[in-house]
Chain A
Amino acid sequence: MKLFFWQPWLIPILPLAGALINGLFGKRFTKSVIAAVALCFTGASFLVACAHAYTLVHSGADALEISYGTWIRAGAFSADFGIYLDHLSLVMMLVVTGVGFLIHVYSVAYMEHEGGYYRFFSYLNFFMFFMLTLVLANNYLLMFVGWEGVGLASYLLIGFFFLKDSAANAGKKAFITNRVGDFGFLIALFLLIQHFGTVRYAAVLDIVSHLSVEATAGVLTAIGLLMLVGACGKSAQIPLYVWLPDAMEGPTPVSALIHAATMVTAGVYMVCRSNAIFSRAPIALLAVAIIGTLTSFFAATIGITQTDIKRVLAYSTVSQLGYMFMAAGVAAYSAAVFHLMTHAFFKALLFLGAGSVIHGIGGEQDMRKMGGLRKYMPWTFWTMLIATLAISGIPPFAGFFSKDEILWQAFSSPHGSKIFWVMGVITAFMTSFYMFRLIFLTFTGEYRGAKPDAHAAHDDHGHDHGTPHESPWLILAPLVLLGVLSVIGGWVGIGNRFEQFLDPVIQKVSVEQSSAQNGEAAATTGSEGAGENKGLENLLMGISVLVAFSGLGLAWFLYVKRPELPARIADASGGLYRLVLNKYWIDELYSAAIIGPLLWLSRVVLWQSIDQKLIDGTVNESAVAARDVSQIIRQQQSGLVRSYAGWIAAGAAAVVAYMVWMGTR
């Protein structure tokens, strides 16, 4: 235990070291050295994380908390640099380091032809550091540091191609939208400090669980709702989801790592981490569930109409995050974390696959210009197919288990409702539909890209940009590994094993409440209800599988069997189609309702009136006045000695006259 590499602080610090080495000296390194540094440090971090996960699970302890000294002390309040390792942060930590490492490997090949190679890896490691800080912190304040840090890393990486206007703007949009959410999180933090005097998870949990429900319901609800605002910003939920689709301007590995697998799930992590608070604030919990359900539904409808391959995946991510919020909102935190994990596998795979496709056909992202790529890039096709099956919820792939768990909890949890379930099932149908639409448009049929197939066959060099080609093995290896994880990742949830694994983290607060509410029901369904429940669960499972297959079927019918139909349907639905295609004009609405007035206020009132007229006016006018007065006075400094002498004489005469007058009075 005392060995140096056993220190848990190494887990976040190693990527930071990598970021510093590459960031400070990377300019002089060759590409292979840069890649080696980045991979070694993240890989080592993953290994240390694995070792700690192993020890923790086998020690049987619920949590491991280590403090490395005080960071802030003010009166009775103090915050530590500390690490809190329990089963929840353990899952997050393994996902972040594991998927992160695979994406690093992928990036080595993917970013090879881009400028700023060292900058990219430095940012990527930098992101890993802050994400691990967020996940491993032992108090909310340190979590907030990680929270802001990943926001910064996200901004830097979205705007990685900063010479492109759209990328720079997308970076700014993400950063500013996140500010809104961070504001909520910050106020929640202040409330925590004010009412509980501490931000340590363990202490907050202890205080909260000894409070009577009536005494603090208002405070806890306020804290919960404000945390939800923060989570909405970071995890791209309604109404702050607008930044995530634009964030696709960043390089594809970034989309996979930050905007699919890890950073955007920080909000879910926070809600699950604060489950003690949320479970005691039913209104906040309901708000989480409603926002999650609405987000998953609306994002899925938008996903159906998008034609940019990465944007489809972006909306799909928003939608899946909505699922996680729905699960958290019905107090099924372990289901949320389970889906978070499986989603990290298959969504990262989908993004990396999309990146491989984009790489293979020379930078094209429009699915209408793809098609028939299956025979050019079989590995990419098969791995992406696995991920698509997983996200659609088709057994036995990972997504099936987690999604089914969420839907079941939405239906059956004491906080759940049939409405959530219905919306969830419809969303599952749409998810399956738009994902297979993506697959069919991209991989089946004829290649609709710039260069016809026949032409390519005559060309001998297969790596010509117009000709689709399979990606190198460095890109394919992560795809395959993630593909394996997308298949088996869900099996840990069989027989509620995952739920039991997270049990120590999820406080059983609602037990007494719910038993008070439906004590009767619980008592009666206790014995014979179990079998009935099992039957119901199986029925619902059957429905969700059916729905997934029907989405597949519809996509196949529309995009393979009758490819001319989608355009006609789009024409027939007219306004509705345009509404969805334009993403409900939410961006336009925001820009008219918020950004426009804000810009007007800034430009007309703050800039032109206050800054230019008031502040500049005051400064400039006083300067002009000083100049005018000086202009008069400086006439006197003529350099004529006799004129000076005359003034002295006149002054002396005046003084004498005054004294004489005073004396004779």
Chain B
Amino acid sequence: MIPVSWYLLLSAFLFACGVTGFLIKRNIITLFMSIELMLNGVNLSFIAFATRLGTLDGHIFVFFVMVVAAAEAAVGLAIIISVYRTRETLNVDRVNLLKL
């Protein structure tokens, strides 16, 4: 049996990767992917604890997070396309005005 701390370390690593990527990258799609990475890092720790404690709560939470993440991805991608159409760039530093 792999100890739960390993899962947690992997989860923290994934989350840290997501944060780092979110902070240093400029491309919106990359940022988006970083966010997904963070979410899944968190999901991993949910699953790990749920398995360890033998309850279903964590699994249910993860399903909810996935559903919300999927919905968010749909909306987010739509926004990204819309931004690209109007600004012709995906650089977040140049998308700092709500209105042109």
Contacts and interface: CB of A to CB of B under 8 A. Distances in A.
A649 B23 contact: yes
A642 B92 contact: yes
Interface string A622-662: 00000000000000000111100110010000000000000
A639 B93 CA distance: 8
A211 B92 CA distance: 95
B95 to A, nearest CB: 8
Nearest to A648: B19
A37 to B, nearest CB: 63
Interface residues of A, number: 7
Contacts of A646: 23
A640 B23 contact: no
A642 B22 contact: yes
B22 A640 contact: no
B96 interface: yes
Nearest to B28: A641
A634 to B, nearest CB: 15
Contacts of B31: 641
Interface in B80-100: 92-93, 96-97
A172 to B, nearest CB: 57
B92 A649 contact: no
Nearest to A641: B92
A642 B97 CA distance: 15
A639 B96 CA distance: 6
B96 A645 contact: no
A640 B26 CA distance: 10
Contacts of A639: 96-97
B23 A645 contact: yes
Interface in B14-41: 19, 22-24, 26, 31
A646 B23 CA distance: 6
Contact of A649 (B19, B26, B93, B96): B19
A641 B23 CA distance: 9
Contacts of A640: 93, 96
Contacts of A649: 19, 22-23
A642 B31 CA distance: 10
Contacts of A642: 22-24, 26, 92-93
Nearest to A649: B19
A645 B97 CA distance: 17
A652 to B, nearest CB: 8
A539 B18 CA distance: 123
A645 B30 CA distance: 14
Contacts of B26: 642
Contacts of A641: 31, 92, 96
Nearest to B35: A645
Nearest to B97: A639
Contacts of B23: 642, 645-646, 649
A591 to B, nearest CB: 64
B32 to A, nearest CB: 12
Contacts of A645: 19, 22-23
Contacts of B97: 639
A639 B95 CA distance: 9
Interface string A42-81: 0000000000000000000000000000000000000000
A649 B15 CA distance: 11
Nearest to B19: A649
A509 B19 CA distance: 102
Contacts of B93: 640, 642
A646 B24 CA distance: 9
A512 B39 CA distance: 108
Nearest to B96: A639
Nearest to B38: A649
Contacts of B22: 642, 645, 649
A640 B92 CA distance: 8
A639 B19 CA distance: 19
A612 B24 CA distance: 53
B87 to A, nearest CB: 14
A362 to B, nearest CB: 72
B29 to A, nearest CB: 14
A640 B97 CA distance: 10
A649 B24 CA distance: 13
Q: Select the residue from B19, B24, B26 with max chain A CB neighbours within 10 A.
A: B19
Contacts of B19: 645, 649
A293 B36 CA distance: 103
Contacts of B92: 641-642
B72 to A, nearest CB: 16
10 contacts: A639-B96, A641-B31, A641-B92, A641-B96, A642-B22, A642-B24, A642-B92, A645-B22, A645-B23, A649-B23
- The list of the 7 closest CB pairs from A to B, nearest first, reads A639-B96, A649-B19, A646-B23, A641-B92, A645-B22, A642-B23, A645-B23
Given A641-B92, A645-B19, 5 more contacts: A639-B97, A640-B93, A641-B31, A642-B24, A649-B22
